[in-house]
Amino acid sequence: MIAQSGKDGRMHPHKFTLWVGIASICMMFAGLTSAYLVKRAQSNWLEFSLPKSFWISTVFILASSLTMFLAVKAFKARERKRYRALISLTCILGLLFGLFQWYGFQDLASRGIQIFGNGSNPAASFLGVIIGLHFLHVFGGIVALVITVLRAYNRKVKNYDATPIEVVAIYWHFVDILWIYLFVFFAII
């Protein structure tokens, strides 16, 4: 599914463009996490534990990756009813991920950990920037999922070209893997 070629052996242009975008996003997050490690050596670095809701949101995004995989499989098998249910569930799980991320930042604020502005700490600000940028990418994925769900319920469309759903799936799996990387990075570091 990742780099499937067409009949002529070439990757679909939409998939190629997506992979170029994914590579640039990976470089951005590698740079940000590297800067986090460098700044961590400063004396004013604040140590704090991740909110429990980040753990819960991780379960939601992992589950959404599974439902996305099953949705693509159902689409290719032309199991329309199953596909609709799975792609809708993927979207709901993505929204729950975002909601629990929000709860996590609310938890940090309730512990007196200010992310930005007066009284903030570089540790909290880095967390806010990095997770905030990840959420922007998740939000883009949720928008793509909402569009995909709406198309799934459109009775006029009888197109069984798997490319659009594969592109959305690749991107969604990417933001899932990126979150796992970031979550492990912040939990261990």
For residue 44, the model assigns a pLDDT of: 81
Judge whether 6 lies within some domain. no
Judge whether 2 lies within some domain. no
Judge whether 88 lies within some domain. yes
For residue 189, the model assigns a pLDDT of: 81
Q: Using a pLDDT cut of 70, give the percent of the chain over it.
A: 94
For residue 155, the model assigns a pLDDT of: 73
Q: How confident is the model at residue 109 (pLDDT cuts 50, 70, 90)?
A: very high
Return the half-sphere exposure (C-beta side, CA atoms, 13 A cut-off) of residue 159. 10
* Residue range(s) defining the domain that contains residue 113: 13-39+58-188
Judge whether 49 lies within some domain. no
For residue 5, the model assigns a pLDDT of: 52
Tokens representing residue 48 in the block: 């704090």
List Cα–Cα distances, 58 to 44, 99, 101, 182, in angstroms: 29, 12, 9, 11
For residue 115, the model assigns a pLDDT of: 93
Q: How many domains does the chain have?
A: 1
For residue 157, the model assigns a pLDDT of: 62
Q: Could you tell me the CATH number of the domain that includes residue 145?
A: 1.20.120.80
Q: How confident is the model at residue 6 (pLDDT cuts 50, 70, 90)?
A: low
Judge whether 44 lies within some domain. no
pTM value is 0.89
- Please count the other Cβ atoms lying within 10 Å of the Cβ belonging to residue 167: 17
Judge whether 53 lies within some domain. no
Enumerate residues 6+ apart whose C-beta is below 8 A from 119: none
Judge whether 48 lies within some domain. no
pLDDT digits (tens, 9 = 90+) for 36-93: 999 998 888 888 999 999 999 999 999 999 999 999 999 999 999 999 999 999 999 9
Judge whether 150 lies within some domain. yes
Q: How confident is the model at residue 1 (pLDDT cuts 50, 70, 90)?
A: very low
Burial code (b: 16+ CB inside 10 Å, e: under 16) for 91-102 equals: bebbbbbbebbe
